Structure 1
Amino acid sequence: MPVEAREATRDTRGYIKLALDFLENPKTGPMSPVTKLKLIELWIYCARNRTGGTVTATQARRLVPGRIREIFTLARCWHHHDCTVATPCQHGACTPSTPCGRDFFTMHDYERHQTFHGPASARRKDTRGYLKLSVDFLENRKTGPLTPVTKLKLIELWIYCARNRTNGVIAASQARKIAPPRIREALTTAGSWKHHACTTATPCRHGACTANAPCGHGFFTMHDYQRHQNHYLEPTTRTEQARSAGRKGGLAKAANRREAASETTSVPARAPSTNAGASHNSQVINTSTPVSPLPYDSDAWEEKPLPPPRPAPRPRHGGDDVADRLNAAAPEIPATSAMRRRVLARLAPDAIAVLADPDAGAIRHAQAQAELDRAEAVIDARAEYLATTNVAENPDIDRLFDPHGPHGYARRMAAAHTPLPIPDPVSPGEVRAMAYRLARDHIDAIGRQGGTPPGPAREALRAELETLLGEGIHQDRLRTELRAMRETGMWAASKLRERLAKVPA
C-alpha cells in the first residue's frame, strides 16, 4: 500500500449497491447528471424505508419533476401500476384485502440489485461488481453542498478504484483525465480525497512505479475508502491474513476451553446422588481436575473512576460550511440578481459604461446592448452546462456569439466550459470567504512548489487579506501581488502589505 496501513473500522450505515457500469450503462448512460442523481435518490428512498422497490405516485411527484419521470418511464427504470387487490402498494393503511386504489411505481429489478426486504422467493442475485453508496450520500454534510456534476465525478472516481482494485488510490494523471480542475479543487476542499507525493516512502505503484524507483508524479487517496468499500488484497497478503486469522481462531478456542474447564471445577460439590450414572460423572470430573479456589481479586469488585473525557478536536478553520463559503466567494452561477449584475460588470465592463452614458450615440448603445446580451448568454450557457454537462444548439442564442457565420454554437460551447469571473465581494461574509480562498490557494501553491509554510501561515494570511479587502484593496491587485510572491516562494502576510506599500495603486 502507498500509505501507512491503518486498521479500518466498519461502516455501519445503510447503503445501496451501485453497479460499476452505472455511468456507461445503455439504460442510464445517456441520462443527464441530475436525472442520474434522481434515480439514485429513489433507490436510497426505497432502501431507507424498506419498501422493496415500490414508490407511491405521491412520493414520486415530490421527489422527481415531471420531465424526469417521463425519462424514467421511457428508459424503463420503473414500472407504473394501479393499486388493486391483485397488486396492492401496501403503503400506509393499504392492505391486500382493502387496497387504497392509488397508483404507484416499482423500480426495475430492485429485488435483484439491492438488499431486498421481502419474501425470499422473490430475490434474485446480481453477480455484477458493485459500489457501496451510503443512504445519506445526497444530504451528507461533506457531499451535500457539491454540484450534481461533482457528485457524479466523485462516484466515477470510486467506480474507477473498485473496477481497477486500487483500494482508493488514483494516480494524479488519471485524476486529471476523470475530473476537471474545478471539480478536483472542490473535492480537495470537501476532504473527499488527499494528495500525496510519490516518493520512496509512499510510492503510488501505478505503471512502472515501485518502492525503489518511484515515478514522482503524485497520487490521490480517497477518504476512508477502505472503511466504506470492498478492500482487495494481494494473494500473498490474503494468504498471510488467512493464516493469521486461523492462528487467532485456534488460540481463541483454546482459551474458551480453559475457561470452560475452570468454570466446571469452580462448581461446589453437590450432595450424594442416588443415581449411579450421575455419581460416576461427578467423580470423574472432580478427580480429573483438582479443585482449587480462585484467588481473590480485590480490584475486580472495586469501582474504578472513569478516565477524564478527551478534549474535543479543534475544528478546522471554517468548520463544516467551508464549501458554502467558498461558493459564496466564487459562485459558478450567480444566486441572486444583484450578484448576477456584479458578474456582468466583470464580463462586460465597457458595455455597462456605455449604456450608463446618456451622451453615447445610438450605434454605440446598440453595440453595448449586444455585448451585454452576449454576457447574459454566457452565464445561462454556463448554468446549462453545469446542470446537464451539455449545451444544446439554439439558433437564437448562437446568433449572439456569431451573427454572420456558422460558428456561434462552437463559441457558446467554449464559453460554457470557461468558469465565470469572480465578482467583487460586498458583504462581510463574501469578504471573509474570498480572503480564505486566496490564502488557501496561495499556501497550497507554495506547498506544491516544495515550500514548507508553518501551520499558522494560512490563518495569518487570511486575516491580512480580509483586512486589506476591507480597506478597499481590489482583488485583482491582491491576486497580482500573490502571484509575484509565489514566484519568489514567499508566504508571510507581512510581506504582502510591504509590497502593496511599495507599489502604488
Structure 2
Amino acid sequence: MPVDACGVTRDTRGYIKIALDFLENPKTGPMSPVTKLKLIELWIYCARNRTNGIVTATQARRLVPGRIREVFTLARCWHHHDCTIATPCQHGACTPSAPCGREFFTMHDYERHQTLHGPAVAKRKDPRGYLKLSVDFLENRKTGPLTPVSKLKLLELWIYCARNRTNGVIAASQARKIAPPRIRDALSIAGSWQHHDCATATPCRLGACTTDKPCGHGFFSMHDYQHHQTHYLDPTARTEQARSAGRKGGLAKAANRRDAPSETASVPARAPATNAGASHSSQVINTSTPVGLTPYDSDAREERPLSPPRPAPRPRHGGDEVADRLNASAPEIPATPEMRLRVLARLAPDAVEVLADPDAGTMRHAQAQAELARAEAMIEARAEYLATTNVVENKDIDRLFDPHGPHGYARRMAAAHTPLPTPDPQTPGEVRAMAYRLARDHIDAITRQGGTPPGPARESLRGELEALLGEGHHQDRLCTELRAMRETGLWAASKLRERLAKVPA
C-alpha cells in the first residue's frame, strides 16, 4: 500500500460515507439491523458499479427481500421511477433519447453524501461528519462472518471514535456500555480491536492520562483505524503545527519580497501610468511592514501571540443534536418501571381499571390479569425484535396471544412488528419531546405531500403543541386533529388551536 508523508500506510480501496448519526437517525434508526445492512449494501453496490445512486428494479429484487423493499419505500430511502425521456436510468443501452422503459430506484440524497462519477453534476454538500466504509465491508474475511448485530456494533464503535476524536481508542468502560460480552468476544477473535492496559509504553491518552502519568485503566484500540479514518491531532500538536506553518509562510513571503527589487530592475521602463502604479504598490508594501519588526526576523514573528480561536456557532434549536436529546428522553422500550406501567396503561387501559376496582368480580379480575400479562409479553417481544430482528418461538408466551389455537406465535410476531404506544408525558422534558416529535412528523408529512411550509412552521407548531399538552389536551386528540389537518394540507399552528376550540373535548 502507498505510504503518505506522515509515514502511515494509506488504504487505496474505494469507500462509501456513513453519516455519524446513521444508527439513531429518525429515518434509519427504527430499522432492524438486517434492514440497515441491506441499505448499506445498496450504497456499496452503487459505489462499486458507479451508478450514481441508481439501482435497477431487477437488481433491487436480487439484493433486497420484498418486506425490506417496502420498508425502504415507506422510509423514503429510495424513490421508484419508470425509465422515460424525463427520467432515464441510463443503464445498459438506455439513453435519454431512447429510454428502455424499465423500472428503477434512485437512492435518496445519494449525490449529497457519496462520490459521483461521470459528467459533473451539481451537488449540495452535506456538513455532517462521516465514516469511510470500505466497499468489501459486508463480505470481508474479517467482518463477513460477524452477525448483523455485531457488524452494526462495530460501526457504532467507529462512530463513537469519530465523534469524540479518539483516533480509534475507546475505554474499556465505554466499550462495555456499547457492546455486550458476546459481541466483544467476537470482535476480539476477529481482530477488529486489541485490548491494552494503559501504561507508559501504551498510554490511552484519554481524559487526564498522559505519557508520563498513565491512568492504568484498560482500553481497546480499533484495528487499523488511522489507515482508514480521519486522524486528529491533540491541541498541543495542532498549535505547534499551525505555528510551524505560519513560520514557513512568513519566511517564504520574506524571500519573495527580498527578490522583488531585482525583478523590478530587470523589467524595462514602461508608460508613466504603469510606473506610477508600481510606485503605489511599493508604498503599500512598505507601509504594511510593522515598525521595529523586519519580515526576515523569524524569532520575532514566533513571539507574536496567536489570535484567539473563533467560537463555534451555537446549534440552532431543532437541529439534529436537540432531536437526539429529546428522542432519548422517551424511548420506545420503557427504560424505567414507572414508564413501563404507563405503557401498560396505554396498551390495556380497561385491564388496569378493572384490577384497580376492588368491587370487580373474580372472573373479571382473571380476564384483566390475562390481558395485562399479554401486554407485558408484547413489550418483551418488541424489545426482543428490536435487539435481534427475530422473536424466538415460546409456547408458554405464545399461549397468551392465542390460548385455544396454534396461531399464538404469529400473533406475537405481528405484535412485535408494531411500535409501542408513547406513554402520556409527565415531566416537562417528556412534554417537550412529544411536542417536538408531533411537529416533526406533521411538517414532514405535509412536505411529502407536496406542500411547502415556511421555515419557522415546525418551531411554531412545536411551541403550540407544548402549550396545548401543558394545558391538559391529550395526545390522542392532538394526533386526531393533526391527521385531519394533514388531509387538508394545513400546517399553521394557529389553525390547530382554532380546531380544538370549535370541537369540544
TM bucket by the smaller chain? 0.5 to 0.7
Residue identity opposite 1:344 in structure 2: L
- What runs of 5+ residues in structure 1 fail to find an aligned partner? 1-111, 239-261, 270-285
Alpha carbons of structure 1 residues 457 and 199: separation in structure 2 relative to 1, 3 Å = farther
Q: TM-score, normalised by structure 2?
A: 0.52
Report how far residue 501 of structure 1 moved.
Answer: 0.9
Within a 5 Å distance, the mapping from 1:225-236 to structure 2 comes to 225-226=113-114, 231=115, 233-234=117-118
Residue identity opposite 2:109 in structure 1: T
Report how far residue 232 of structure 1 moved.
Answer: 5.2
State whether residues 333 and 379 of structure 2, in contact with CA within 8 Å, keep that contact through their aligned partners in structure 1: yes
State whether residues 143 and 151 of structure 1, in contact with CA within 8 Å, keep that contact through their aligned partners in structure 2: no
Query: Helix, strand or coil: the match of 1:233?
Result: coil
Partner of 1:426: 426
Distance 2:86 2:454 in 1: 23
Distance 1:267 1:502 in 2: 81
Give percent identity, aligned residues only: 52
Report how far residue 153 of structure 1 moved.
Answer: 4.3
Distance 2:377 2:89 in 1: 46
How many residue pairs end up in the alignment?
Answer: 327
Partner of 1:416: 416
Partner of 2:228: none
The Cα offsets for residues 111-151 of structure 1, whole Å up to 9 and x where unpaired, read as: x9xx9x9999xx9x9x9x764577xx8xx466468869567
Distance 2:289 2:466 in 1: 51
Partner of 1:323: 324
Query: Helix, strand or coil: the match of 1:390?
Result: coil
Which of 104, 108, 111 is equivalent to 1:220? Answer: 108
Distance 1:374 1:320 in 2: 36
Residue identity opposite 2:53 in structure 1: V
Q: Look at both structures and tell me which one has the larger radius of gyration over its CA atoms.
A: 1
Query: Helix, strand or coil: the match of 1:481?
Result: helix
Query: Helix, strand or coil: the match of 2:108?
Result: strand
Within a 5 Å distance, the mapping from 1:339-418 to structure 2 comes to 339-418=339-418
Residue identity opposite 2:117 in structure 1: L
Distance 2:323 2:377 in 1: 30
Partner of 2:42: 160
Report how far residue 314 of structure 1 moved.
Answer: 5.8
Partner of 1:254: none
Alpha carbons of structure 1 residues 350 and 398: separation in structure 2 relative to 1, 3 Å = same
Query: Helix, strand or coil: the match of 2:358?
Result: coil
Report how far residue 312 of structure 1 moved.
Answer: 3.4
Distance 1:201 1:497 in 2: 47
Alpha carbons of structure 1 residues 310 and 424: separation in structure 2 relative to 1, 3 Å = closer
Residue identity opposite 2:108 in structure 1: F
Report how far residue 332 of structure 1 moved.
Answer: 2.0
Report how far residue 467 of structure 1 moved.
Answer: 0.5
Alpha carbons of structure 1 residues 490 and 225: separation in structure 2 relative to 1, 3 Å = closer
Distance 1:151 1:319 in 2: 22
Distance 2:15 2:268 in 1: 56
| 1:435 aligned onto 2:435 | yes
Residue identity opposite 1:164 in structure 2: C
Moved more, 193-202 or 165-174: 193-202
The Cα offsets for residues 248-304 of structure 1, whole Å up to 9 and x where unpaired, read as: xxxxxxxxxxxxxx99x96999xxxxxxxxxxxxxxxx9xxx944996644445549
Query: Helix, strand or coil: the match of 1:332?
Result: coil
State whether residues 161 and 170 of structure 1, in contact with CA within 8 Å, keep that contact through their aligned partners in structure 2: no
Distance 1:363 1:209 in 2: 72
More RCO (CA 8 Å, sep 6+): 1
Alpha carbons of structure 1 residues 457 and 202: separation in structure 2 relative to 1, 3 Å = farther
Report how far residue 318 of structure 1 moved.
Answer: 4.7
State whether residues 439 and 458 of structure 2, in contact with CA within 8 Å, keep that contact through their aligned partners in structure 1: yes
Distance 2:98 2:403 in 1: 60
State whether residues 73 and 79 of structure 2, in contact with CA within 8 Å, keep that contact through their aligned partners in structure 1: no
Q: TM-score, normalised by structure 1?
A: 0.52
Query: Helix, strand or coil: the match of 1:375?
Result: helix
State whether residues 198 and 218 of structure 1, in contact with CA within 8 Å, keep that contact through their aligned partners in structure 2: no
Distance 2:107 2:415 in 1: 31
Distance 1:304 1:491 in 2: 60
Partner of 2:487: 487
State whether residues 266 and 291 of structure 1, in contact with CA within 8 Å, keep that contact through their aligned partners in structure 2: no
